[in-house]
Amino acid sequence: MESKEPPLCYCTGTTAAKILTLIEQGKNSLEEIINATGVTTGCGGCDYEVAKWVEQELNKKERVIYSLEL
């Protein structure tokens, strides 16, 4: 079944789910996600929101890894 989730980046059609999958697969920076998806490279309208959202998700991942190491 196809997701009805709206994209974070309309130019590339990149959704939050796609980015979360990339983070789970080991992408650990906005630059890596941009290279993998092209997100933020079109019109630029999503730059701030995507960067903010990706940073939050990477910080969540970092907190989880840190707590598992304790």
Amino acid sitting at position 64: V
pLDDT tens digit string along 6-53?
999 999 999 999 999 999 999 999 999 999 999 999 999 999 999 999
CB 35 within 8 A of CB 14: no
Residue 2 confidence (pLDDT) above 60: no
Tokens representing 6 are 């709206």
Domains of the chain are 16-69 (1.10.10.1100)
Inter-axis angle of helices 16-24 and 30-37, nearest 10 = 120
More confident of the two residues 10 and 68: 10
| pLDDT for the residue 3 | 58
pLDDT at position 30, please? Answer: 93
Q: Residue 40: helix, strand or coil by DSSP?
A: coil
Per-residue pLDDT, 4: 83
